[in-house]
Structure 1
Amino acid sequence: MKKMLIIQREVKILLKKILRILFTLIGATIGYIIGEIIAKSDLSKNFPMLINGSVGQYIFIAILVIIFGLIFFFLSPLINAAITKVMDYVEKDVQRVPTYDVIVGTAGGIIGLIISTLFFSVLKNTGVGGTLFAIISVILTLIITALGVDIAIKKKDDIISIFSSIKKTSSSTKEKKNKSKYTSKILDTSVIIDGRIFDICQTGFIEGTLVIPNFVLEELRHIADSSDDLKRNRGRRGLDILNKIQNELKIPVEIVEKDFPEINEVDSKLLKLAQVMKGKVITNDFNLNKVAKFQGVAVLNINELANAVKPVVLPGEEMEIQIIKDGKEAGQGIAYLDDGTMIVVEGGKRHIGEIMNVVVTSVLQTAAGRMIFAKRKDLISR
């Protein structure tokens, strides 16, 4: 702290010295200008020593330079003190004024200065001029600048609200642009009933608006009203999932009323809507997936996603499984992993209901799912 005070004191002393030299130079310059004016005026006729180019003229100018330089040299402490007082007063005054007022007032003053400068430059171009015009233009410029500051401070709240509304508009435009980057995702009936779409949306992997067509809602309602218990439960589950999507997810949901009366099948309507909206269909229907690809409609298949995130099983790995039933080929037994992946075990038919260790021989990946082929461990060890 002491070091800082010492440095500040030294800086002030150095600044005073620099200002004293500057004021002395200013005084000397003023003395030189006055000497030149007198030497070139009518007064020089009365004094032979002031004849142009004579030694006396140079001596006279040099004397004035020294006199005015000394005057300003001795007056510089007083001028420095006056400048310091004015600066302190302005600084204290400015500190009392809120920052917003200073910024807005400065901006208003600059605008007033620009307007007055443009106005008087136009008048000058028309031929108006002279000393009186110059004095009047300076006075009016100061008045207009002061008016600009005063008006800006008085209308500060309105100006700030205008700028804040512009900022909000620009931010909302940006949000709209960001939203428009993502294509709409159109849900089909099967994927709503399946329910996994809700969990996927919760993870944040789906971006854009979820679109639920009105004809899909109608199909769900018909399924929920079915006399068949299984169908009715599936329809009600689908409606429950939709309610959860609307109420619990942050992702925007849009119900589209657009229908295509000339098309009878819901799947065909769905693909047509996707083409019109330039969106993607989310489904787990294998056949709809194939038709969509044929028609050039982008599809997000939930089953394909589920297969993609299943644990990778490599040939040669061992696993413990339970044979559930016999397979299509002779001697084969069928088992399932927890995620529903089917395992075909050679020679497993005779061990239905038993838990055994098997070794993976190959893995077959299809669009419909993944199949694992394995052999009993004891058969391989032989």
Structure 2
Amino acid sequence: MKYRINPKNGDKLSALGFGCMRFAKDEQEVERQIIYAIEHGVNYFDTAYIYPKSEAILGRVLAKGYRDRVKIATKMPPYLVKKYEDLDKLFETELERLQTNHIDYYFLHMLTDVNIWTRLVNLGILKWIEEKKQAGQIINIGFSYHGGRDEFKKLIDIYDWEFCMIQFNFLDENRQAGKEGLKYAAAKGLPVMIMKPLRGGKLVTNLPKEVYKVWDKADVKRSPAEWAFRWIWNHPEVTVVLSGMNSQAMVEENINVASQAEANAFTEADFDLFNQVTDILNQKIKISCTGCNYCMPCPMGVDIPTCFSTYNDREIEGKTAALSKYIMQTSVKSQTSNASRCTKCGKCESHCPQNIKIRDELTTVTKAMEGFYYKPTRFLIKRFMRL
């Protein structure tokens, strides 16, 4: 297993982290996979409050003599924090599930914008974090993020975080926080954990046949998953890459790749392969936005790159998954940033290097993503997040 050093505290973290959201159904099989991973060098396990079964299973396995060999990362959902007392209530529940007295890497889960953080600060979270750190119950504090690049940078700068997590893969190099966000966080001295390295498997299965032909003609024969993982590990700014492993074969393959992959190891030929693959996938994309953010900020608060990227995901991930992303990233924040906020002022178009007719395209996004199902779906998600 290759390891990368946390620049904040010197922790030696396995390049591959075990994402616990998608555990197999058989707990005995999950236990075998966890123990195998630990015995082969994986020392970072990621779960969350909203994955109660996964937290509990991980806790039961680690209690069998493995707790001191790993770092536990878990997450508190800000939307469940309505008053100061909720912080302890949620945290103590997690400690109980995980059968531990401390969390090594504690996230604010899916921190969407600065306003959410400000609300938590007003409830007293800064005092709470300090108390937990003084007591040794929280070792490192950070946040996970889905959303646009500009808001990510604001969140990075608003507090002295000790780590963060973003979605990052070869198709999302210039989407969400993207490569620019990765480098920004790393330049601040933060370890960066990576989620969705395979976009939930969408970069591995059911790809256009032309993509498989590109991988097949490579001098070195690798599976699409291995290529995707190696692309991420080629970035020295990346600390840990999470994989939601739910089969023994997946665990073994990913550990094997993580034991070989190095940063800055790609050749020009390797980069050329990825250029070919992304060109093929981008042909499915309807709006040719590169996520450069030159169109931002929008006077009406529309997150233009995120609206376009989630709309484009309809062609790769399907309408349901894309709609869910669209709502989560634009419509359940304290200040919405969805496409229908556009008033067609045109300020954005004068700055777009792609000469995209942004106003027309935002109308297209509104029609596609904010149909009759948009409001009830948004309502259900917001209701769930208030439970």
TM-score range, shorter chain: under 0.3
What TM-score, normalized by structure 1, do the two folds share?
0.22
Larger CA Rg, structure 1 vs 2 = 1
What TM-score, normalized by structure 2, do the two folds share?
0.22
